[in-house]
Structure 1
């Protein structure tokens, strides 16, 4: 194993670890990148950290491949993927199309609806929209989301038309595309994808109104259940749905699909993350550990999936 790994490490050449960036998720990306950097160094990989906010991206052409650990716009939306493909540098994760599509929650929902996959009813907000009309059509409460932000940034739960109006204004500070989605009361789950495999499902529990930014990265009262409490058949059904949903938006390599399960036992797709967090609060490493995959092994598997430059 060690000898084979040594040969494989040599074949990987110089690796650029992209993290930081300029999105609203910069701080999370820095933490994720630091954890991945430490793992790559432990593995003996020749790795160089690259922060697009401060480093000249032309230097990426000097590397043999790239490990993308950028969250949010500029790193998870197809922009850096397109630059890497133009330079013929292999990279981890989804291609240009998959990255761009999954980053846009509204377009993701349209793709899922077109594929016949279950996602909560929604309405695009803006123009001459009327909060009363949206509440009447979708019911309340509603989740209001900026379409192209991650880590629950800009998301608000609205209970009535006035709160919906305020939530729209709050989300609009992050994106000019905002939508409202029917709130699904029930349990929240997440399914990590590694290659073609769905890892063990994690059930999330928070005393907050929903699994928001603080619950994800700062709170100590968020609970993560793995085993998730579903029966073997129910978990397998959820895993299969997650894999189908990931493929429907051209997801590749690794990622994470978030799902709500209502009181009737129906699963509802929320969103896809094509560059999930890798911090000490993150869910993909947690799911990998439940499958017997160490953090270093997880990083290795993600890196070695970047074996060629792929079209979007």
Structure 2
């Protein structure tokens, strides 16, 4: 195992999105994992999207590699990744364009369709184009096109609920996705080193895994690994990996999937910077494969460092 004794890891946390507090929780877990392994790190609270200010923060701290623990806008949308590319600082996770695609649910859905990856039927609305009639049957999911942690998401089972759901979703952006709600199981699959990890089933009382359930509710359980027939389990892993690759993600991600009652998987979205809190699912998915949290974090950093060294050596040739 390569030593990281002389490496300083900069953990970017906080950010400017509505997921700021979740980012702090992820960063705390990462910081503790690095400290347990004797790896030096510094936590950097990013509370601006000013490019020059961020460049100054990173330069002043003489960071060797950046661990991105930012969630939501200016964390998962490719902008912080672009700044790090300009600085030639190695960083964890996907490149700018793949990050943007994963964050933009409309763009990612279109990529899934182009690559024949099953995803629930959907249509897109903006404030100027509201539906006169539905071409997808209830129940429906209404969600903002550019947010995470299930913020602004509603499940509606009848037309009378639609207006309120739209109002909530439009609070978070100018466009909204309306897609068919797939009755069945909620699954998630982590990817590490561009290979699928274990399938995790999320078991809860509500219709979906909302923000409160994700981070605050103790009345939730996880089956890790999910209790599925072997061929279905492998199919879910395969679909998750295809979604990861179709968006151009690298190193790691987490793919959310619904399994309908006929055991057909449907990809909901790809998370290019999955949460790393005590309630988060990527660590559970990794644990299914015998990878503990500290090792998961180490591997993420090693992937970033090895890529950074390759690019630097290539530039110098």
Does the pair score TM above 0.5?
A: yes
Give the TM-score normalised by the residue count of structure 1: 0.93
Asked if structure 2 preserves the Cα contact closer than 8 Å seen for 1:190 and 1:259, the reply is yes
Offset at residue 59 of structure 1 (A):
2.3
Please list every run of 5 or more consecutive structure 1 residues that lacks an aligned counterpart in the other structure.
none
Q: Which residue of 2 aligns with 1:107?
A: 107
Name 1:84's counterpart in structure 2: 84
1:50 counterpart = 2:44: yes
Q: Is the 8 A contact 2:9 2:41 kept in 1?
A: yes
1:199 alignment partner in structure 2: 197
Q: Is the 8 A contact 1:78 1:97 kept in 2?
A: yes
Q: Secondary structure at the match of 1:308?
A: helix
Task: Check conservation: 2:225, 2:285, Cα contact below 8 A.
Answer: no
Q: C-alpha separation between the residues in 2 aligned to 1:93 and 1:128?
A: 36
CA distance in 2, matches of 1:70, 1:253: 17
Give the secondary structure class of the aligned counterpart of 2:102.
helix
Change (3 A) 1:63 1:130: closer
**What SS does structure 1 have at the residue aligned with 2:94?**
coil
Are residues 1:10 and 2:2 paired?
Answer: no
Structure 1 runs of 4+ aligned residues shifted over 4 Å read none
How far did residue 196 of structure 1 move? 1.9
**Is the CA contact 2:156–2:165 (under 8 Å) kept in the aligned structure 1?**
yes
CA-to-aligned-CA distance 1:236-267 (integer Å, 9 cap, x gap): 11101100111101111111000001111111
Report how far residue 93 of structure 1 moved.
0.4
Post-superposition CA distance 1:262-288 (Å, at most 9, x none): 111111110010111111111111122
Give the conservation status (yes or no) of the 8 Å contact 1:16–1:50: yes
Count residues with an aligned counterpart: 303
Residue ranges of structure 2 left out of the alignment (5+ in a row): 312-317
Which residue of 2 is the match for residue 98 of structure 1?
98
- Paired with 2:28 and 2:197, the residues of 1 have a C-alpha distance of 23
Corresponding position of 2:315: none
Question: How do residues 1-312 of structure 1 correspond to structure 2 at under 5 angstroms?
Answer: 4-5=1-2, 8-10=3-5, 13-53=7-47, 56-57=53-54, 58-61=56-59, 62-134=62-134, 137-306=135-304, 307-309=306-308
Alpha-carbon contact 2:127-2:175 (below 8 Å) kept: no
